Amino acid sequence: MSKTWLGTLLLAASAVAYSSAGFFTRLIEVDAWTLLFWRGLLAGLFLGAMAAVQERGRFVQAFRDIGVTGLLVALFSAVATVCFLNAMRQTSVADVMVVDAAIPFITAGVAWLVIGERESVKTLLATLVALLGVAVMAGTALQEGRILGDLLALAMAVLMSTVIVLIRRKRGVNMVPAVCLSAFLCSLIVSPFANPTGVDMHEFGLLAVFGMGQFGLGLLLLALGTPLVSATRGALIGVLQTPLGTLWVWLAFSEKPAAATLAGGLIVLAAVLGDMLPLRRVGVRPAE
């Protein structure tokens, strides 16, 4: 299996893990801040364990090796999470979805400016189709947004695009320690508003699965897969989490989505598969 295909599969798996967020937030009946606190803390512990397994006797050195770039990855990723949460409170979910779907376009621009990586026309067209698919899913709800929330969503998109490009730029360095720090930082940011001791054992068990299986595993696969594919293609694969998230809630809670949501989800899926399926891709100039 080529490195490109391995990276594609890892990022697709990352999107699947991330897409379960809606399922878990419906299932776990604790306040949002406490949920995010435990999600970040448990994900950080999981990622720290993964880094220890990877590096063995070089655990501390692995954190040093990430350098300034890794610290920026951790900071930008954590701040992007905070922007995302506040955007969801300040504007419509539809607006956030569409801005999130624009991440591949933003990533293409950042990748070209920072590492000189030029994406193929095919992948850019697939990105456009995916964006249109998410717009179809959002439908008329786009009219409900507010400017502050939209700006926060845009900040989230720019930060995540930069994270993808920075990981791609330092693809010779293990960035699992960086995303580990990011998870802990997310937990630290929300800690003043959380009530960590207010959960019972059943809730804690669900939080453990949520933190490690959704956030921790998603970050781990993102850190491992991003160096292996072009930045824009990696971001495009991440858009899969939008229709998949709707699917899991539908299957688990019988919340049947609207026809437009289903149609838009199929468009996104077709766009990503259309970019993934050909065995040979041309037009990408990797960074030196």
Burial (CB count within 10 angstroms: exposed 0-12, middle 13-18, buried 19+), residue 27: middle
Least confident of 106-120, 161-175, 184-198: 106-120
Q: Is the pLDDT of residue 8 over 50?
A: yes
Q: Using alpha carbons, list the distances in angstroms from residue 138 to 92, 153, 246, 264.
A: 9, 15, 12, 8
Q: Is the pLDDT of residue 223 over 70?
A: yes
Beta-carbon count within 10 A of 252 CB: 14
Q: Is the pLDDT of residue 255 over 80?
A: no
Q: Is the pLDDT of residue 282 over 60?
A: no
Q: Is the pLDDT of residue 229 over 70?
A: yes
Q: Is the pLDDT of residue 275 over 70?
A: yes
More confidently predicted of 126 and 284: 126
More confidently predicted of 167 and 99: 167
Query: Mean pLDDT throughout 230-238?
Result: 91
What angle do the packed helices 217-225 and 3-19 form, to 10 degrees? 160
Q: Which two tokens stand for residue 241?
A: 């989490």
Q: Where are the alpha helices (DSSP H) in the chain?
A: 3-19, 21-27, 32-55, 59-65, 67-90, 93-101, 103-115, 121-138, 147-169, 176-190, 201-209, 217-225, 231-238, 241-253, 259-276
Q: Is the pLDDT of residue 112 over 70?
A: yes
Residues 118, 286: Cα–Cα separation, whole Å: 7
pLDDT-based confidence at 140, cuts 50/70/90?
A: low
pLDDT-based confidence at 283, cuts 50/70/90?
A: very low
pLDDT-based confidence at 281, cuts 50/70/90?
A: very low
Averaged pLDDT score across all residues of the chain: 86
